Chains A and B, each alone.
Chain A
């Protein structure tokens, strides 16, 4: 080919070569960036965070055997622990009574309305008051959510009267459950005590259950004294057993 002639094909080939080389260089840079990032975690290996090398050098090794901790700073660990502690403390110590009435919880708002207002309930209570009794706050055992935060603690006031009045033929006694005031009035035989107070859901929409001497009783929301009747259904008993077990 004559040196004086510059063909378009030659220019094309040369430009193509330059452009391809530029692309390859760009791709090499991308590959290099990929290799500089921490490798993808393999099964059994804790995931790591992509950090600039300068930052990664500041990481501490809490334990040489614990690879999960190797990319967390001491600060991050402390902040996480404090946040967990505050969260747990708050969730376990909030009582319904502590809350602002204007900011009632969903459970308060969605609880079934009381069939018996306080004014009407008190006479019932007074009717039982001749018997000896005690009053105590009992925490409702709720279905467990193992490993996760539980809903706010729910407590009910349980007033237990023993003796006094003629009991049911079966001897279990009577109850009156006022969900609005979170009160349960119980008339039990002499020496009768509640082992557990249980609910199958945090809203107490199905009423509550009590356990006495290993026997479960269902307390519906009631406007008058109801007879305590032991639960017979096997499935329900197993469900309540499970809740008790989860709360142990």
Chain B
């Protein structure tokens, strides 16, 4: 069984380990949230978001976890639960977990509801999903660069490019392709709106 430190180190290389973290701390976090909140479905969603947020934080350069993963996750869950039950106004969300452990590096995760802000992002999301399912490295390069914060050198090594410049060129081509597809999609939609 991996320690927290090992998991964090490996998680930067392999997102598959997030499943291990998810399962390892699920019972604890959900049990903890159940003492505050009774919507089981929402509790599960909150926990899932917390784990994803943790993953995103781990990908950020310079991220150092000063408490255990369980504590970190439970703190995120607690903040989210308190937000949902509108207690945050009267009971300010403290960064101390139920065990009394201070969370130095925890911040509230971005609101999942804000992921899709507008139509363009919605359209982009749909295009990227198609890209992910299709052939080519475009999605992988963009995801590694924009989501996991990997360097061009790292991407070049992992995806077997001869050097970082080649990755840079490929990324540019992918973005152009993405833009073209977006414009096409938005153009079609605008035409539909005008005709409708």
User: Which A residues fall within an 8 A CB radius of B?
Assistant: 1, 3-4, 6, 8, 10-20, 23-24, 26-27, 30-31, 34
Closest residue of chain B to A14, judged by CB?
B124
B45-87 CB contact bits vs A (8 Å, 1 = yes)? 0001101100110000000000000000000000000000000
Q: A20-B52, A23-B18 are in contact. Are A15 and B120 (CB under 8 A)?
A: no
Residue from B55, B124, B182, B183 having most chain A Cβ neighbours under 10 A: B124
How many angstroms from the CA of A141 to the CA of B120 in the assembled complex?
88
In the complex, are the beta carbons of A18 and B132 less than 8 A apart? Answer: yes
Shortest C-beta distance, A46 to chain B (Å), equals: 22
In the complex, are the beta carbons of B22 and A18 less than 8 A apart? Answer: no
In the complex, are the beta carbons of B52 and A8 less than 8 A apart? Answer: no
Nearest 8 pairs between A and B by C-beta? A14-B124, A6-B179, A14-B125, A17-B115, A17-B125, A12-B146, A15-B147, A27-B48
In the complex, are the beta carbons of B147 and A12 less than 8 A apart? Answer: yes
B44 within 8 A of A: yes
A-B contact pairs, 16 of them (CB 8 A): A1-B120, A6-B124, A6-B178, A13-B116, A13-B117, A14-B121, A14-B128, A15-B128, A15-B146, A17-B115, A17-B116, A17-B121, A18-B129, A23-B55, A30-B22, A34-B23
User: Which B residues fall within an 8 A CB radius of A?
Assistant: 15, 18-19, 22-23, 44, 48-49, 51-52, 55-56, 112, 115-117, 120-121, 124-125, 127-129, 132, 139, 142-143, 146-147, 175, 178-179, 182-183, 186
How many angstroms from the CA of A34 to the CA of B19 in the assembled complex?
13
How many angstroms from the CA of A1 to the CA of B182 in the assembled complex?
14
Chain B residues positioned under 8 Å from A23 (CB to CB): 15, 18, 48, 51-52, 55
How many angstroms from the CA of A196 to the CA of B128 in the assembled complex?
87
